[in-house]
């Protein structure tokens, strides 16, 4: 029997007075659901995977978005007309540490943040997920749940594109290479035992393999693939997002931007080769992000990265991470790794 950590029943509207247990009252002056303040909710739940159902809307027109845990985007901004109520559901991974695996533990339980340009939350229900499929992310700082603004990894933005039943377990960590990820028990030593049959494991590691020779880099990718398969999961290799370094002719620099290290190892090429040789699904995010950045040009591509804020041409802004997460979503569908009905298109 599932236990519901709930406040919020869709039909409990315009009820004055105190909140009843397990329900949300919506008076003329909207009050937040129990467990919630005006802009946040907290649920004392143990680590695990949870289905969350939110009821959005209020007396006036509203635009509401939901994020949670370590700044993960869980639901994109959703518009509701005055007096309208709209239900949306998603599945969320709750763990310790709640963000980067080598970072601080964070707050126990599930934390949700109510955002958007005109937020209105009428109800929320949290229930242990029975049949969730995990999408594990193994990666570096361009993928991870970044702890502070203005940084954001594409894995931090991916959950908003997934519907109930698909959960992102982002175990990417800043500064990691294939060498360090395999060696650290907080990383691969923790992720591998969690993988269940049918789970997806997306691997994007390259940015920090600056001194890794080609044979070692290839062997490490093959070890990650084998470890996933031994657990019954499905590995997916992801080539790294490009760095925003242009040549004079408006194309991206073949070394710095396209992840060729000082030893001459062409990381995207090795990833493609390992995927082809091992029959591993490939998301060529290098090719996708290269095409996008070059199409936007020197000026237009700045918004994808933290150029204005930090003169940073490697790490993405929240906007850029959201765009890149959309590319990953599209490829997951195109490769038939997730059903089209399992994703949101906005």
Please check whether the two domains, 27-128 and 133-342, share a CATH topology: no
What's the whole-number average pLDDT of the chain?
A: 91
Are 239 and 267 in contact by the 8 Å Cβ rule? The answer is yes
Task: Inform me whether the pLDDT recorded for 14 exceeds 90.
Answer: no
Task: Inform me whether the pLDDT recorded for 9 exceeds 50.
Answer: no
Task: Provide the β-strand partners of residue 305.
Answer: 316
Maximum CA extent, the chain: 69
For residues 35-51, average pLDDT: 94
Strand, coil or helix: 95:
coil
- Going from N- to C-terminal start, the domains of the chain cover 27-128, 133-342
What confidence score (pLDDT) does residue 1 get? 44
Task: Inform me whether the pLDDT recorded for 2 exceeds 80.
Answer: no
Task: Inform me whether the pLDDT recorded for 171 exceeds 80.
Answer: yes
Strand, coil or helix: 290:
helix
What confidence score (pLDDT) does residue 345 get? 86
CA distance 64 to 107: 23
> Residue 38: which pLDDT band, with cuts at 50, 70 and 90?
confident
CATH topology classification for 27-128: Jelly Rolls (2.60.120)
Strand, coil or helix: 160:
helix
Helix axes 214-230, 267-278, angle to 10 degrees: 40
Strand, coil or helix: 170:
strand
> Residue 346: which pLDDT band, with cuts at 50, 70 and 90?
confident
Q: Which residues contact 210 (CB under 8 A, 6 or more apart)?
A: 177, 261, 262
Nearest CA-CA partner of 9 in 27, 20, 22 = 22
Strand, coil or helix: 293:
helix
Chain segment 229-262, per-residue pLDDT in tens: 999 999 999 999 999 999 999 999 999 999 999 9
What confidence score (pLDDT) does residue 28 get? 39
Are 271 and 315 in contact by the 8 Å Cβ rule? The answer is no
Chain segment 155-164, per-residue pLDDT in tens: 999 999 999 9
What confidence score (pLDDT) does residue 30 get? 53
Chain segment 334-344, per-residue pLDDT in tens: 999 999 999 99
CATH topology classification for 133-342: Rossmann fold (3.40.50)
Chain segment 110-148, per-residue pLDDT in tens: 999 999 999 999 999 999 999 899 999 999 999 999 999
Helix axes 285-300, 318-334, angle to 10 degrees: 150
Strand, coil or helix: 221:
helix
Strand, coil or helix: 183:
helix
Report the DSSP pairing between strands 282-283 and 200-204. Answer: unpaired
The radius of gyration of the chain's CA atoms, rounded to the nearest angstrom, is 21
Looking at residue 36, what DSSP letter applies?
A: B
For residues 62-78, average pLDDT: 97
> Residue 35: which pLDDT band, with cuts at 50, 70 and 90?
confident
């Amino acid at each position: 029997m599932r236990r519901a950590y709930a406040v919020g029943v869709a039909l409990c509207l315009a009820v004055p007075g105190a909140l009843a247990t397990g329900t949300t009252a919506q008076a003329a002056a909207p009050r937040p659901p129990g467990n919630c303040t005006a802009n946040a909710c907290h649920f004392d739940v143990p680590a695990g995977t949870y289905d969350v159902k939110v009821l959005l809307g209020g007396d006036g027109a509203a635009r509401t978005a939901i994020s949670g845990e370590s700044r993960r985007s869980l639901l994109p901004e959703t518009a509701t007309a005055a007096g309208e109520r709209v239900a949306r559901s998603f599945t969320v991974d709750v763990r310790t540490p709640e963000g980067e695996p080598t970072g601080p533990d964070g707050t126990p339980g599930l934390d949700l943040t109510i955002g958007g340009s005109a937020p209105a939350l009428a109800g929320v229900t949290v229930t242990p997920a029975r049949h969730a499929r995990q999408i594990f992310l193994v990666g570096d700082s361009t993928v991870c749940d970044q702890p502070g603004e203005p940084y954001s990894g594409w894995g931090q933005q991916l959950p908003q594109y997934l519907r109930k039943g698909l959960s992102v377990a982002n175990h990417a960590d800043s500064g990691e290479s294939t060498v360090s990820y395999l060696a650290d028990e907080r990383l691969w030593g923790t992720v591998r035992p969690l993988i269940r049959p049918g789970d997806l494991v997306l691997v994007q590691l390259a940015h920090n393999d600056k001194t890794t020779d080609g044979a070692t880099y290839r062997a490490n990718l093959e070890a990650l693939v084998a470890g996933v398969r031994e657990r019954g999961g499905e590995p997916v290799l992801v080539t790294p997002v490009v760095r925003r370094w242009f040549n004079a002719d408006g194309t991206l620099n073949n070394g710095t931007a396209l992840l060729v290290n000082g030893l001459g190892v062409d990381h995207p090429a090795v990833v493609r080769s390992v995927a082809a040789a091992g029959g591993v699904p490939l998301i060529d995010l290098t090719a996708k992000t290269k095409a996008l950045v070059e199409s936007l040009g020197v000026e237009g591509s700045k918004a994808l990265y933290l150029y204005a804020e930090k003169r940073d041409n490697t790490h993405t802004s929240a906007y850029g991470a959201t765009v890149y997460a959309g590319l990953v979503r599209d490829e997951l569908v195109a490769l038939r790794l997730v059903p089209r009905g399992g994703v949101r298109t906005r």
